[in-house]
Structure 1
Amino acid sequence: MRNALGLLKQRRFLPLFTTQFLGAFNDNLFKTSMVLFATYAIFNDPRMEANFNALATGIAIIPFFLLSALAGQLADSHDKARIIRLVKSAEIGIMALGAAGLMVARSGHSTIGLGLMLGAVLCLGVHSTFFGPIKYAILPQHLPPCDVLGGTGLVEAGTYLAILMGTITAGFMTDHIERAAIAVLAIAVIGWFAGRQVPPAPREGPPLVLNYNPFTASWRLISATMHIPRLFLAICAISFFWTIGAVLIVIFPPLVKNVLTADERVASFVIAVFSIGVAIGSVVINTMLKGRISARYAPASVIAMGVFVLIFSVLVRTWTPAAPGHFYDWAGFLAQPRAWPVLGTLMMIAITGGMFVVPLYAFLTTTVEKDQTARTVAANNVVNSGAMTIGSIAVIGITMAGVTPEDLLFLVAGMCLVSAWIAQKLHRACDDDAETCLPVIRK
Structure 2
Amino acid sequence: MTTATHLMRQKRFLPLMVTQFFNAFNDNLYKTAMTLFVVYSVYSSERDEALFSGVGSLIFVLPFVLFSALAGQLADTRDKAAIIRVVKLCEIGWASLGVFGLYLVWQGIAVHTFAIPLLLVVLFLASTQSAFLGPIKYAILPQQLKPNEVLPGTGLVEAGTYIAILGGTILAGFVEVETSMILIMITAVLGYISARFVPEALPQGDYEMHFPLLEPYAAKTKNAVKRWLGYPFVAVADQVVMSFRLIKEVKQSRQIWLAIIAISFFWTMGAVLFIQFPPLAKNQLLATPEVASLFLVIFSLGIAIGSVSINALLKGVVSARYSPISVVVMGAFLIGFYIVAKAWTPNSAGQLLPIDEWILEPLAVPLSAMLLGVSTAGGMFVVPLYAFLTTRCAKNAASRTIAVNNIVNCISMVLGSALAIGLTSIGLPVVDQLLVAAAMTMVSAWLGWLLYKAEKEAGLADPF
TM bucket (normalised to shorter chain) is over 0.9
Does residue 1:123 correspond to 2:125, yes or no?
Answer: yes
Stretch of structure 1 that moved more, 129-138 or 403-412: 403-412
How far off is 1:50 after superposition? Answer: 0.5
Alignment of 1:110-259 (within 5 A): 110-111=111-112, 112-173=114-175, 176-211=176-211, 213-259=238-284
- SS of 2:202's partner is coil
What CA deviation, in whole Å up to 9, does each residue of 1:243-263 have, x standing for no partner? 111110000110011111111
Q: Determine if contact 1:172/1:265 at 8 Å carries over to the other structure.
A: yes
Alignment of 1:361-372 (within 5 A): 361-372=386-397
What CA deviation, in whole Å up to 9, does each residue of 1:155-205 have, x standing for no partner? 0000000111110111122xx312111110111001000001000000110
Which residue number in structure 1 is paired with residue 344 of structure 2? 319
What CA deviation, in whole Å up to 9, does each residue of 1:239-289 have, x standing for no partner? 000111111000011001111111111111111011001000000000000
How far off is 1:75 after superposition? Answer: 0.2
How far off is 1:305 after superposition? Answer: 0.2
Alignment of 1:2-17 (within 5 A): 2-17=2-17
How far off is 1:2 after superposition? Answer: 4.8
State the distance in 2 between where 1:148 and 1:417 align. 29
State the distance in 1 between where 2:83 and 2:184 align. 21
How far off is 1:322 after superposition? Answer: 2.3
Q: Determine if contact 2:21/2:160 at 8 Å carries over to the other structure.
A: yes
How far off is 1:307 after superposition? Answer: 0.6
Which residue number in structure 1 is paired with residue 412 of structure 2? 387
State the distance in 1 between where 2:149 and 2:63 align. 31
Alignment of 1:13-162 (within 5 A): 13-108=13-108, 109-111=110-112, 112-162=114-164
Q: Determine if contact 2:76/2:397 at 8 Å carries over to the other structure.
A: yes
Gapped regions of structure 1 (runs ≥ 5) = 439-443
- SS of 1:33's partner is helix
What CA deviation, in whole Å up to 9, does each residue of 1:74-120 have, x standing for no partner? 00000000000010001000111110110011111321211111011
Q: Determine if contact 1:70/1:210 at 8 Å carries over to the other structure.
A: no
Does residue 1:332 correspond to 2:334, yes or no?
Answer: no
Stretch of structure 1 that moved more, 223-232 or 202-211: 202-211
State the distance in 2 between where 1:55 and 1:5 align. 40
How far off is 1:406 after superposition? Answer: 1.4
How far off is 1:228 after superposition? Answer: 1.4
Larger Rg: 2
State the distance in 2 between where 1:250 and 1:88 align. 27
State the distance in 1 between where 2:23 and 2:119 align. 17
- SS of 2:344's partner is coil
State the distance in 2 between where 1:178 and 1:333 align. 25
State the distance in 1 between where 2:349 and 2:424 align. 23
What CA deviation, in whole Å up to 9, does each residue of 1:385-428 have, x standing for no partner? 10100111111111010111111111101110000000000000
State the distance in 2 between where 1:240 and 1:204 align. 31
How far off is 1:210 after superposition? Answer: 2.8
State the distance in 2 between where 1:5 and 1:63 align. 35
Q: Determine if contact 1:153/1:282 at 8 Å carries over to the other structure.
A: yes
State the distance in 1 between where 2:279 and 2:20 align. 29
- SS of 1:9's partner is coil
What CA deviation, in whole Å up to 9, does each residue of 1:36-86 have, x standing for no partner? 101111100101101101100100111100110110000000000000001
How far off is 1:209 after superposition? Answer: 2.9
Query: Structure 2 counterpart of 1:135, which letter?
Result: K
Q: Determine if contact 2:46/2:279 at 8 Å carries over to the other structure.
A: yes
Scaled by the length of structure 2, what TM-score is found? 0.92
Q: Determine if contact 2:286/2:352 at 8 Å carries over to the other structure.
A: yes
How far off is 1:233 after superposition? Answer: 0.6
- SS of 2:362's partner is coil
Question: Aligned pairs, how many?
Answer: 435
* Displacement over 6 Å in runs of 4+: none
Query: Structure 1 counterpart of 2:25, which letter?
Result: F
State the distance in 2 between where 1:330 and 1:22 align. 26
Aligned partner (choices 438, 441, 450) of residue 413 of structure 1: 438
How far off is 1:325 after superposition? Answer: 4.6
State the distance in 2 between where 1:291 and 1:251 align. 35
State the distance in 1 between where 2:424 and 2:207 align. 48
Which residue number in structure 2 is paired with residue 441 of structure 1? none
What CA deviation, in whole Å up to 9, does each residue of 1:281-340 have, x standing for no partner? 000000000000000000000000001000100000111112455111122211111111
- SS of 1:216's partner is helix
State the distance in 1 between where 2:378 and 2:330 align. 6
State the distance in 2 between where 1:373 and 1:125 align. 21
What CA deviation, in whole Å up to 9, does each residue of 1:187-231 have, x standing for no partner? 100100000100000011014133251121001000000131101
State the distance in 1 between where 2:375 and 2:129 align. 25
- SS of 1:136's partner is helix
What CA deviation, in whole Å up to 9, does each residue of 1:344-399 have, x standing for no partner? 11100000000000000000000112210000000011111101001111111110
State the distance in 1 between where 2:202 and 2:319 align. 29
Query: Structure 2 counterpart of 1:194, which letter?
Result: S
- SS of 1:3's partner is helix
State the distance in 2 between where 1:146 and 1:426 align. 22
Identity across the alignment (%): 47
Q: Determine if contact 1:28/1:163 at 8 Å carries over to the other structure.
A: yes
Q: Determine if contact 1:5/1:154 at 8 Å carries over to the other structure.
A: no
Q: Determine if contact 2:207/2:396 at 8 Å carries over to the other structure.
A: no
Does residue 1:309 correspond to 2:308, yes or no?
Answer: no
